[in-house]
Protein backbone atom coordinates (compact mmCIF):
# COMPACT_ATOMS: atom_id res chain seq x y z
CA UNK A 1 0.00 0.00 0.00
CA UNK A 2 1.40 3.39 -0.98
CA UNK A 3 1.94 5.86 1.83
CA UNK A 4 1.35 9.59 1.82
CA UNK A 5 3.36 11.15 -0.98
CA UNK A 6 4.32 14.76 -1.36
CA UNK A 7 5.74 16.66 -4.30
CA UNK A 8 8.16 18.27 -4.71
CA UNK A 9 10.54 17.08 -2.02
CA UNK A 10 12.46 20.35 -2.23
CA UNK A 11 11.65 23.77 -3.65
CA UNK A 12 13.77 26.89 -3.76
CA UNK A 13 11.98 30.03 -4.91
CA UNK A 14 12.53 33.75 -4.77
CA UNK A 15 10.55 36.04 -2.54
CA UNK A 16 7.39 37.12 -4.32
CA UNK A 17 7.09 34.00 -6.44
CA UNK A 18 4.37 31.40 -6.23
CA UNK A 19 4.80 27.78 -5.19
CA UNK A 20 2.29 24.95 -5.16
CA UNK A 21 2.83 21.90 -3.01
CA UNK A 22 0.97 18.68 -3.63
CA UNK A 23 -0.06 15.86 -1.31
CA UNK A 24 -1.50 12.49 -2.25
CA UNK A 25 -2.98 10.85 0.86
CA UNK A 26 -3.36 7.16 1.42
CA UNK A 27 -6.22 5.88 -0.69
CA UNK A 28 -9.48 5.80 1.27
CA UNK A 29 -8.36 8.26 3.93
CA UNK A 30 -10.97 11.00 4.22
CA UNK A 31 -8.95 13.11 6.63
CA UNK A 32 -6.07 15.13 5.20
CA UNK A 33 -3.95 17.52 7.25
CA UNK A 34 -1.30 20.06 6.40
CA UNK A 35 1.42 20.88 8.96
CA UNK A 36 4.51 23.05 8.86
CA UNK A 37 7.81 22.99 10.72
CA UNK A 38 9.73 26.25 10.61
CA UNK A 39 13.39 26.65 11.60
CA UNK A 40 13.55 23.48 13.70
CA UNK A 41 10.63 24.52 15.85
CA UNK A 42 7.54 22.48 16.60
CA UNK A 43 5.40 21.00 13.88
CA UNK A 44 2.38 23.29 13.61
CA UNK A 45 -1.07 22.50 12.29
CA UNK A 46 -2.22 24.46 9.26
CA UNK A 47 -5.54 22.96 8.21
CA UNK A 48 -7.68 19.86 7.98
CA UNK A 49 -9.83 18.51 5.15
CA UNK A 50 -12.55 15.94 5.48
CA UNK A 51 -12.95 14.72 1.95
CA UNK A 52 -13.14 17.92 -0.11
CA UNK A 53 -14.38 20.17 2.72
CA UNK A 54 -12.20 22.32 4.94
CA UNK A 55 -12.96 21.18 8.47
CA UNK A 56 -10.54 23.48 10.25
CA UNK A 57 -8.22 26.08 8.76
CA UNK A 58 -7.43 27.89 12.00
CA UNK A 59 -3.70 27.29 11.58
CA UNK A 60 -3.31 28.98 8.20
CA UNK A 61 -0.94 31.89 8.82
CA UNK A 62 -2.49 34.40 6.41
CA UNK A 63 -4.33 34.79 3.12
CA UNK A 64 -1.20 34.15 1.08
CA UNK A 65 -1.82 30.47 1.74
CA UNK A 66 -4.54 28.65 -0.17
CA UNK A 67 -5.33 24.97 0.18
CA UNK A 68 -7.63 22.93 -2.01
CA UNK A 69 -8.75 19.35 -2.21
CA UNK A 70 -10.90 19.05 -5.27
CA UNK A 71 -12.70 15.74 -5.51
CA UNK A 72 -11.57 14.73 -2.07
CA UNK A 73 -8.42 13.01 -3.29
CA UNK A 74 -5.12 14.86 -3.53
CA UNK A 75 -4.60 18.30 -2.03
CA UNK A 76 -2.56 21.33 -3.03
CA UNK A 77 -1.18 24.11 -0.88
CA UNK A 78 -0.33 27.28 -2.75
CA UNK A 79 1.77 30.09 -1.33
CA UNK A 80 1.39 33.33 -3.25
CA UNK A 81 3.38 35.52 -3.00
CA UNK A 82 6.00 33.69 -0.96
CA UNK A 83 7.86 35.51 1.81
CA UNK A 84 11.13 34.64 3.53
CA UNK A 85 9.35 33.52 6.72
CA UNK A 86 7.45 30.88 4.75
CA UNK A 87 10.60 28.76 4.54
CA UNK A 88 10.25 25.45 6.31
CA UNK A 89 9.18 21.88 5.86
CA UNK A 90 5.53 21.36 4.93
CA UNK A 91 4.10 18.01 5.95
CA UNK A 92 0.91 16.38 4.83
CA UNK A 93 -0.80 13.64 6.84
CA UNK A 94 -3.85 11.50 6.36
CA UNK A 95 -5.98 9.29 8.55
CA UNK A 96 -9.05 7.12 8.34
CA UNK A 97 -12.36 8.21 9.74
CA UNK A 98 -13.75 5.40 11.86
CA UNK A 99 -17.49 5.99 12.09
CA UNK A 100 -16.94 9.55 13.28
CA UNK A 101 -14.45 8.55 15.97
CA UNK A 102 -10.93 9.87 16.07
CA UNK A 103 -8.34 7.58 14.60
CA UNK A 104 -5.29 7.55 16.77
CA UNK A 105 -2.79 7.23 13.96
CA UNK A 106 -2.00 9.79 11.32
CA UNK A 107 0.32 8.85 8.49
CA UNK A 108 2.74 11.54 7.39
CA UNK A 109 4.45 12.20 4.10
CA UNK A 110 8.14 12.97 3.93
CA UNK A 111 7.45 16.65 3.56
CA UNK A 112 8.35 19.40 1.12
CA UNK A 113 11.31 21.51 2.14
CA UNK A 114 10.55 25.03 0.96
CA UNK A 115 13.28 27.65 0.87
CA UNK A 116 12.37 31.22 0.01
CA UNK A 117 15.38 33.36 -0.88
Partner 1 sequence: GQSLEQPSEVTAVEGAIVQINCTYQTSGFYGLSWYQQHDGGAPTFLSYNALDGLEETGRFSSFLSRSDSYGYLLLQELQMKDSASYFCAVRDQASAGNMLTFGGGTRLMVKP
Residue 86 makes CB contacts below 8 A (sequence gap 6+) with 64, 79, 114, 116
* Beta carbon nearer to partner 1, 15 or 54: 54
Beta carbon of residue 43, minimum distance to partner 1 (angstroms, whole number): 4
Whichever of 37 and 81 has its CB closer to partner 1, that residue is 37
Q: What is the C-alpha to C-alpha distance for residues 108 and 115, in angstroms, rounded to an integer?
A: 20
Q: Smallest distance, Å, CB 81 to partner 1?
A: 27
Q: What is the closest distance, in whole angstroms, from the C-beta atom of residue 109 to partner 1 in the complex?
A: 6
User: What DSSP string describes 41-88?
Assistant: --EEEEEEEETTEEEE-TT--STTEEEE-GGGS-EEEEESS--GGG-E
Q: Smaller CB distance to partner 1: residue 17 or 44?
A: 44
**Degrees, nearest 5: CA angle 78-42-90:** 20
Comparison of 59 and 81: residue with beta carbon closer to partner 1: 59
Smallest distance from the beta carbon of 19 to partner 1, in angstroms? 19
Query: Could you give the 3-state DSSP secondary structure of residue 34?
Result: strand
Question: Which residues contact partner 1 by CB under 8 A?
Answer: 3-4, 31, 33, 35, 40-45, 48, 50, 55-56, 59, 91, 93, 95, 102-111
Amino acid sequence: EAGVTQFPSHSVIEKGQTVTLRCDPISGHDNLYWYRRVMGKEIKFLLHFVKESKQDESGMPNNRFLAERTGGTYSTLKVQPAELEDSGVYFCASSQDLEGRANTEAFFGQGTRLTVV
